[in-house]
A and B are shown apart, each in its own frame.
Chain A
Amino acid sequence: MRRILGIGCLAGLAAGVAAALFAATAGRGPIRDAIALEDSVSHATGGAHHEDLFSRGVQEIGGAIGLIVFGLALGVIFAVVLAAVGPRLVASTPLTASIRLGFFGFVAVVLVPFLKYPANPPAVGDPDTVNERTVLYFAVLGLSILLTWAVWRFHRGVSLSPVAKAWATAALYGAGLLVIFLALPGNPDAIDAPTDLVWRFRLASLGGLAAAWATLALVTGTLLSRPGRAGESSGTQAPA
Chain B
Amino acid sequence: MARRGVCHTAPMESHALPIPAPALPDVDVPVWAWALVALAAVVSYFVMLENGVVLSQAAETLHEFFHDGRHFLGVPCH
Please list the residues of chain A having a beta carbon within 8 angstroms of any beta carbon in chain B.
1, 4-5, 19, 23, 27, 31, 52-54, 58-60, 62-67, 69-70, 72-74, 76-77, 80-84, 86-87, 89-94, 96-97, 100, 104, 107, 110, 113-114, 117-122, 125-127, 130-131, 133-134, 136-138, 148, 151-152, 155, 162-163, 165-167, 169-170, 173, 201, 204-206, 208-209, 224, 232-237
Assembled-state Cα–Cα distance A13/B7 (Å)? 34
The answer to whether A63 and B68 touch across the interface, beta carbons within 8 angstroms, is yes
Can you name 14 A-B pairs with beta carbons within 8 Å?
A: A31-B72, A53-B61, A63-B68, A73-B41, A76-B36, A80-B34, A87-B22, A89-B23, A92-B20, A120-B71, A138-B49, A169-B3, A208-B72, A209-B74
Taking CB atoms, residues of chain B closer than 8 Å to A66 are 47, 65-66, 68-70
Contact in complex: A234, B24 (CB < 8 Å): yes
Q: Is B44 within 8 A of A237, CB to CB?
A: no
The main secondary structure of chain A at its interface with chain B is helix
Task: Please tell me if the beta carbons of B40 and A237 are within 8 angstroms of each other in the complex.
Answer: no
Residues of B whose CB lies within 8 Å of any CB of A are 1-7, 9-10, 12, 20-30, 33-34, 36-37, 39-41, 43-44, 47-49, 51, 53, 60-61, 64-78
Residue of B23, B28, B44, B75 touching A73 (CB-CB under 8 A): B44
Cβ distance A15 to chain B, nearest Cβ, rounded Å = 12
* B71–A122 CB distance below 8 A: yes
- B47 contacts A69, CB within 8 Å? yes
Q: Are A130 and B40 in contact (CB under 8 A)?
A: no
Other-chain contact of B74, A83, A104, A114 (Cβ < 8 Å) = A114
Residues of B within 8 A of A74 (CB): 40, 44
Q: Are B23 and A166 in contact (CB under 8 A)?
A: no
Q: Are A84 and B2 in contact (CB under 8 A)?
A: no
Q: Which B residues touch A236, using CB under 8 A? A: 21
Contacts A53-B60, A74-B40, A90-B9 known; A127 to B71 CB distance under 8 Å?
Answer: no
Bound-state Cα–Cα, A65 to B62, Å: 12
- State the CA gap A165–B4 with chains docked (Å): 9
Once the chains bind, are A209 and B73 in contact (CB under 8 Å)?
yes
Question: How close is B28's CB to chain A, nearest CB, in angstroms?
Answer: 8
User: Are B64 and A54 closer than 8 Å at their CB atoms?
Assistant: yes
